[in-house]
Amino acid sequence: MTADAEKSVTVFLPAHMREQAKNTAEVLTAPGSLMDVIMEVANQFPDLKESLLRGIQEREIAIAIDEMITENDPTTRVEPGAEIRLLPAIAGGNK
């Protein structure tokens, strides 16, 4: 882990979003609330913003912070050095 990564949050984008993010797989952001982190990614890549925000709102994208799936609570605190993975949501289970 680099010194920058220790002070920042690393957000890993899913393959289907990378083209809209100029073929970027990882984005460094400042720590803060989950909403702060997501908005920083969205603002760095305007072409990605609409699909990213819609995907999270409609639960088409799951969010894992340090390998733990979250409830997408925008107020969740994201600490320096954390890793966030944006994952295509997996549907299934018994109904």
Q: What is the pLDDT of residue 95?
A: 47
* Predicted TM-score (pTM) of this structure: 0.86
Burial of 21 (0-12, 13-18, 19+ CB in 10 A): buried
10-residue mean pLDDT series, the chain (95 residues): 74 94 96 97 96 92 94 93 91 53
Of residues 27, 44, 23, the one with CA closest to residue 83: 27
Architecture of domain 24-88: Roll (3.10)
Q: What is the pLDDT of residue 91?
A: 64
Q: What is the pLDDT of residue 5?
A: 62
Domain ranges, ordered by start, for the chain = 24-88
